[in-house]
Structure formats: C-alpha cells, structure tokens
Amino acid sequence: MSFTPRGIIPAMVTPFNRQGKVSEDGLRGLVDYLMEGGVHGLFPVGSQGEFYALEREEKKKIIEIVLDQAKGKVPIYAGTGAITTREVITLTKMAEDIGVDAVSIITPFFISPTQDELYEHYLAIAKSTNLPILLYSNPGRTGVNLSVDLVVRLSKVDNIVGIKDSSGDMTLTAEYIRRTSGDFSVLAGRDTLIYGTLSYGGKGAIAATANVAPKLVVEIYEAYIRGDIERAKKAQANLAPLRLAFNLGSFPVVIKDALELIGIKVGTTMAPVKSLDKDKQEILRNVLREMKLL
C-alpha cells in the first residue's frame, strides 16, 4: 500500500459544551486552528480525544465534522481502538464508510492478550478493511506491549502501514525503525521524543501538544526535514515544558486546560477527570507564557 503517514499529526482533543455534548463549533474552530498551524494530518477520537468516554454515535459525529471542516486538505486518521476485535472492526467499518484516509488502532486494554493473540487481532482487522492501519502502542495506558518481533510480522501485512509508539522507550522505537522496511512509518507518540525519533529514521509524530502549539511542533519536523538540525533541536527543547506539564493533572485534562487558557474553547474533560485547581492552573499559565503562547 502506497499510503505513508508522515509529519505532525495532532492527537485532537474533543471539545465539549457545558452539557457534556460534543461541541461542533468548538471542533470546527480547533480544526481551523490546527490547520493554520501547518499540521500534516488530523487524528480525532484517540486517547487525547477521550475515545473511551464516547458513544459510537458521538465518534461518528466527531469524525464527520473533522472531515467536513478539513475539506480534504490533510489526511484524517480516525481512532477506532476498542477492547475486542469485533468492536474494532465495527468502528473501522464506520470510519471507512464516513471517508477517513486511515485509522489508528490502540492495543486492547483491561485484558492482556499474548503476542500471538495480538497478531490475530490486527490481522483480522486488516482483512476487514481497505484502509491503511496505524498500530498504536501505549503500554503505560493499556498495560499491553507490542514487541519488536510482532511489529515486524504485522508490518508485512499490506495495509498495516506504520505505528504510533507512545512507549517513551527510545531503544524500542529505534528497533521498530531498524527492523522494519523504509516504507513502514514509525511515528513518535511521546512529544519529548519527536526529534529523537526523526533522528533514528522515524517519519513524524502524533502529538497531543500540537493541539496547543501546532506551529512549534511542526517546526521540529520541518526544520529537521530541511536539514536545520539545530533549529529542530531548539524547537524540541522549547516544547518540552508543555509535555512535562502533563503531570499537573489527570490525563488528559492538561491540554484542554491549556487550550482554554490560550482562548481556544474546548470545555473540560469527561467526569471523573476535572480541570486543574487554581495553583496548578497558574503553573500551566506560566509554562504557556514562557512559550509565548499567552
């Protein structure tokens, strides 16, 4: 398959209104903000988008709005992860019918499949769709790891085209890159490791911080591709405080609070996760001020 995921793809938050419903105006505004920032794709209904809190019809609505607002200018990667193979296939079929360009599928969570079970899981999904598939490894959230051997096996499936690696383990990332072919895209999922992933031969990042600072995150990639290594390293260093600020609150509230602070209306997270208290809001405000986002 010729589709090659590359560049900076924001892992989009899902804007909610005061009633806890998907905010269409907020979502369209966020798409515009991100595209003005020069991003190379959009990734709705992922972990940062609170996919675990959304009903199927809400996921459908979000994907439809993002597709409509993007107007074909950048590829749309929809998150269609779930615990069971059956549900992933259903969600992937829905995304394919809507018209997305690719899907990203996180490993199952709560359960602990073997590597062989994971292979059969992804193979069945791949056979059920014509869409390009990005594997998504986030063992810190799911407790499930995709071994290098497994990723190598899956990379030989025609429409499995890459992996978002949120392990935070650069040795693992480097092995994914070293042992797969050049047309298999390894994308950083840990925003502090975008430059490192590129330097090992990765093709970009799916980045939560790109919701807030799309231009800065894009600069890491664009400067690197131009060969301006020092500028890429500087942009990565400038981004680090925002990613490290994730520790201020429960995932994934920090990015939503940061967006609200810079004037992008996205509401807050689904309960039980709450916005930061005043003291932590002030710390986050100072981070944004230092980054010249306020």
CA–CA separation, 151 vs 129, rounded Å?
Answer: 19
Q: Using one digit for the tens of pLDDT, what is the confidence trace for 40-58?
A: 999 999 999 999 999 999 9
pLDDT surpassing 90 at residue 254: yes
Q: How far apart are CA 114 and CA 146, in angstroms?
A: 10
Residue 269 lies in a domain: no
**Lowest-pLDDT range of 18-22, 134-138, 215-219, 227-231:** 18-22
- Known catalytic residues are 136, 164
pLDDT at 1: 76
The closest alpha carbon to 204, from 48, 147, 44, 219, belongs to: 219
**Number of domains composing the chain:** 1
Instruction: Please report whether residue 270 resides in a domain.
Output: no
| All residues at 6 or more sequence positions from 271 whose CB lies less than 8 Å from its CB, including other chains | none
The tokens describing 152, both together, are 């190598």
Is the whole model's pTM more than 0.75, yes or no? yes
Paired with 137 in beta bridges are 165
**Residue 153 predicted with pLDDT over 80:** yes
Q: Is residue 105 part of a domain?
A: yes
Provide the residue range defining the domain that includes 171. Answer: 7-229
- The residues facing 206 across adjacent strands are 9
Tokens of 14: 């899902």
d(CA 29, CA 33): 6
- Residue 145 covered by a domain: yes
Closest residue by Cα to residue 293 from 268, 271, 261: 261
Element (DSSP H or E) covering residue 179? helix 170-179
Reply yes or no: is the peptide bond before residue 272 cis, omega within 30 of 0. yes
Q: Which helix (H) or strand (E) holds 88?
A: helix 85-98
Task: Confirm whether 132 is domain-assigned.
Answer: yes
CB-hemisphere CA count at 13 Å for 203? 22
pLDDT digits (tens, 9 = 90+) for 88-136: 999 999 999 999 999 999 999 999 999 999 999 999 999 999 999 999 9
267 lies in some domain: no
Is pLDDT of 2 > 90?
no
Within-domain flag for 256: no
State the maximum Cα–Cα separation within the chain, in Å, rounded to a whole number. Answer: 50
| Percentage of the chain modeled with pLDDT above 90 | 98
Contact partners, residue 4, CB within 8 Å, separation at least 6: 161, 162, 183, 185, 203
Q: Which helix (H) or strand (E) holds 136?
A: strand 133-137
End-to-end CA distance of the chain: 43
Phi-psi region of 143 (alpha: psi -120 to 50; beta: other; left: phi over 0): left
Residue 38 lies in a domain: yes
CATH number at residue 155: 3.20.20.70
- Alpha-carbon distance of 26 to 20, in angstroms, equals 12
Q: What is the pLDDT of residues 184-220, one digit of tens each?
A: 999 999 999 999 999 999 999 999 999 999 999 999 9
H/E element, 207: strand 204-207
